[in-house]
């Protein structure tokens, strides 16, 4: 099997070039990209893949998943693509050298497209940023819109974001695809916050529970959220990030303060 990666911009192309398993990369415009695929709903996983057809890479299409259940997402996609486990990503040679000093900076990425980030308000992030600033840190938000009061907000190309995160004193953010990228690139002093009600925004909870029971090993004595933490945990990359489940602003505020005070604490946090 050969892997063809299709992207729409140079930022994506540079990241894809760092993945050894990809055989060829083609860059096209967005309208052409979305016209290529027609992935509709979960019933697609009962269909057989046909040689010569294009499919959007999705676990829905992995018909063998039910007979070969996975422990986490890395395990699943490694099986789908026939890769050696674990798959590696190295973007270090593609990243421009940063001249700025971020050694006393805390990078906060408060937004997520995969999971809901609405449980935590902008006001909370501004308040915690104020608290961290009073502790002597410089604060930088990674977000598309500048909605975090007077704090500086940036949204760089992915490779530059990775390099900046590697240079920061601490990195704190909502569980998202960006969390995966940082974990793969071994970003240190990383605190990742999971929402209390953890399910993907792209499908209903009912669809997600059905698909996850089909594709993943589910602990019979665990509730759905507990299985989700294990399936999506950054520990699949052998990462050392602290992972915290949001159950309320006061507990999260204290967890963040403890994190920046005790950087060597690497345990899974819940509460």
126 in the same domain as 85: no
Residue closest to 195 by CA, chosen among 257, 122, 244, 250: 244
- Position with higher pLDDT, 168 vs 118: 168
Strand-pair partners of 26: 6
Same domain, 99 and 83: no
Least confident of 3-7, 49-53, 77-81, 259-263: 49-53
Write down the pLDDT at residue 260.
94
152 compared with 56, residue with greater pLDDT: 152
Top-confidence residue, 34 or 195 = 195
| pLDDT of 269 | 40
> Which of 39, 66, 92 is the last residue before a domain boundary?
92
Decide if pLDDT at 109 tops 90: yes
- Chain-centroid distance of CA 134 in Å reads 29
Judgement on whether residues 25 and 137 belong to the same structural domain of the protein = no
Would you say 70 and 59 are in contact if contact means Cβ atoms under 8 Å apart?
Answer: no
260 and 171 in a single domain? The answer is yes
At 124 the pLDDT is 93
- What is the number of structural domains in the chain? 2
Please state which of the ranges 49-53, 167-171, 178-182, 233-237 shows the lowest mean pLDDT.
49-53
We report the CATH number of the domain holding residue 100 as 3.40.50.2000
30/9 Cα distance (integer angstroms): 9
Whether residue 238 is predicted with pLDDT greater than 60 in this model: the reply is: yes
- 144 and 212 both lie in a single domain: yes
d(CA 239, CA 183) in angstroms, rounded, equals 6
Q: Are 211 and 42 in contact (CB under 8 A)?
A: yes
Three-class DSSP category at 182: helix
Q: Do 152 and 188 share a domain, yes or no?
A: yes
Last residue of a domain, one of 39, 68, 92: 92
86 and 114 inside one domain: no
Q: Return the percentage of the chain with pLDDT > 90, whole number.
A: 35
Q: Are residues 179 and 83 in the same domain?
A: no
Reduced to 3 states (helix: H, G, I; strand: E, B; else coil), residue 54 is coil
Q: Does 116 lie in the same domain as 219? A: yes
Of 215, 223, 263, nearest in space to 245 by CA: 223
Question: Are 145 and 159 part of one and the same domain?
Answer: yes
Is the pLDDT at 268 greater than 60? The verdict is no
Boundary (domain end) residue, out of 62, 92, 122: 92
Q: What is the DSSP letter of 70?
A: B
- In a shared domain, residues 71 and 99: no
Domain that holds residue 121: 95-270
Q: For residue 211, what are the contacts with CB-CB under 8 A and spacing of at least 6?
A: 42, 45, 59, 60, 203
- Average confidence score pLDDT of the chain: 81
> pTM higher than 0.75, yes or no?
yes
Q: Are residues 230 and 167 in the same domain?
A: yes
Cα gap 73→53, rounded to integer Å: 24
């Amino acid at each position: 099997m050969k892997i063809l990666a299709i992207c729409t911009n140079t930022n994506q192309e540079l990241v894809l070039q760092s993945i050894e398993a990809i055989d060829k990369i083609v860059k096209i415009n967005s309208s052409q990209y979305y016209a290529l695929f027609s992935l509709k709903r979960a019933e697609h996983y009962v269909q057989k893949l046909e040689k010569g057809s294009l499919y959007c890479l999705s676990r829905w299409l992995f018909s063998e998943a039910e007979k070969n259940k996975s422990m986490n997402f890395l395990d699943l996609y490694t099986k789908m693509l026939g890769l050696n486990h674990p798959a590696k990503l190295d973007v270090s040679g593609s990243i421009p050298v940063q001249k700025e000093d971020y050694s006393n900076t805390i990078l906060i990425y408060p937004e997520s497209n995969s999971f809901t980030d609405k449980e935590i308000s902008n006001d909370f992030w501004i308040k915690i940023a104020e608290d961290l600033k009073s502790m002597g840190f410089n604060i930088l938000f990674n977000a598309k819109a500048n909605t975090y009061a007077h704090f500086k907000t940036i949204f760089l190309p992915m490779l530059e974001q990775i390099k900046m995160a590697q240079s920061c004193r601490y990195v704190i953010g909502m569980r998202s695809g960006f969390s995966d990228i940082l974990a793969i690139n071994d970003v240190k002093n990383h605190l990742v916050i999971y929402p209390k009600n953890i399910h993907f925004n792209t499908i209903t909870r009912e669809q997600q529970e059905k698909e996850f029971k089909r594709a993943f090993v589910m602990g019979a004595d665990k509730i759905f959220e507990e299985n989700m933490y294990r399936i999506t945990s950054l520990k699949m990359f052998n990462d050392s990030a602290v992972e915290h489940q949001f159950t309320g602003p006061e507990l999260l505020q204290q967890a963040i303060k403890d994190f920046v005070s005790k950087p060597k604490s690497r345990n899974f946090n819940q509460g």
